[in-house]
Structure 1
Amino acid sequence: MKKKTLTALIWSFVDKFGQQFLYFVTGIILAIPLNPVDLGKMALLAVFVALSSILIDSGFGSALIRKKEATDADYSTIFYFNIGVSLIFYLILFALAPFIESYSGVPGLAAVARVSFLSIVFLAFGMIQQTRLIKYIQFTQLARINIISLFCSSVFAVITAFMGWGVWALVIQSLGMAIVKSVLLWIYGRWRPKWIFRVASMKE
């Protein structure tokens, strides 16, 4: 257990450091073809995505990690809950996009927001798989998934930015990372939801 914990800590550090390094390098490269307005648009939208992800999980992920004998019914129930809430949040933000544009005073932000906010839904599909990797101390797999997804999405962002796509290059980075990460979590997480939804699991 000590060895497993030490390995987990090392890979957790590699995960955090690797992501920060990739974000730093990508940010420097993207600053060349993009203007500060484009970067500001995505910074504003990132706040909504981050807050939505926290609210969608609602602490159920942590509860599943702490629960000693979580069942497939528990995992499946929270999986469908996450998907349902993510769709609700997306529809709300979709409707609010014009007001966000009006409030920020940035023309064209509504269209960018509506596409960018799709990452909320895609991330929800991989929340339980990520929770299980953390629960079973599989930080090696989690680090690989995070770094690979960020690397792939950053490469696409850099290519499209230099092709003149502007802020849409940043949308590709955000949305691409969510999609690739969820796909990898499904591949390496190996868990699949059952057709079960138990209110008792949520109450517990």
Structure 2
Amino acid sequence: MKTDKLEELFRDLEHEFDIEIPEIGHQQRFFDKLNSVNKKENAKAPKRKSFTVILSIAASIIVFFGLFIFLQNKMEVNDLASVSPELSQTQDFFTTAISSELNKIKAQRNPENEILISDALKQMELLEKNYERLKLDLKASGKDKRVIYAMISNFQSRIDILENVLKSIENLKEFKQSEQTQMTL
């Protein structure tokens, strides 16, 4: 059945096949044209390659220059540590205290105090964003003392929030315990 369809196809296309023999020298003319096209492409190729090499080198230089400027600006972090060694110690103290308090809070996290802790973490995020703005202000103001005091105040506010949350968690625990003892009496 398949051969019947194939034979039928050849019968339908029988008069459309190119069965004429090309003129003498056809093959040589074809190769001559092919060689002339190849020669033209070869003559143009080195010019393109040299132009693309120059462009790629120029693009690389521009990219490296831009990257250098970007990284240099990134490396200039203006925070308390960049002002003086004393303020660097102050910043280290605050960041250590904050991370310690955060670890205490995370260790006591449970469904009963989840809302309290999540609210405190949202406030911490807002203070962190404010601190990032203060770092930009410090750079712009040339290390103005008011900005430095605001940065220290920001750290103190974070610690105060965390201490208040820990106190609230302890109060909540004591309330639960007193409630349980009253129910058992």
Is the TM-score greater than 0.5? Answer: no
Report which of the two structures shows the higher radius of gyration computed on alpha carbons. Answer: 2
TM-score (norm 1): 0.32
Which fold has the larger relative contact order, with Cα–Cα distance below 8 Å and residues 6 or more apart in sequence?
Answer: 1
TM-score (norm 2): 0.34
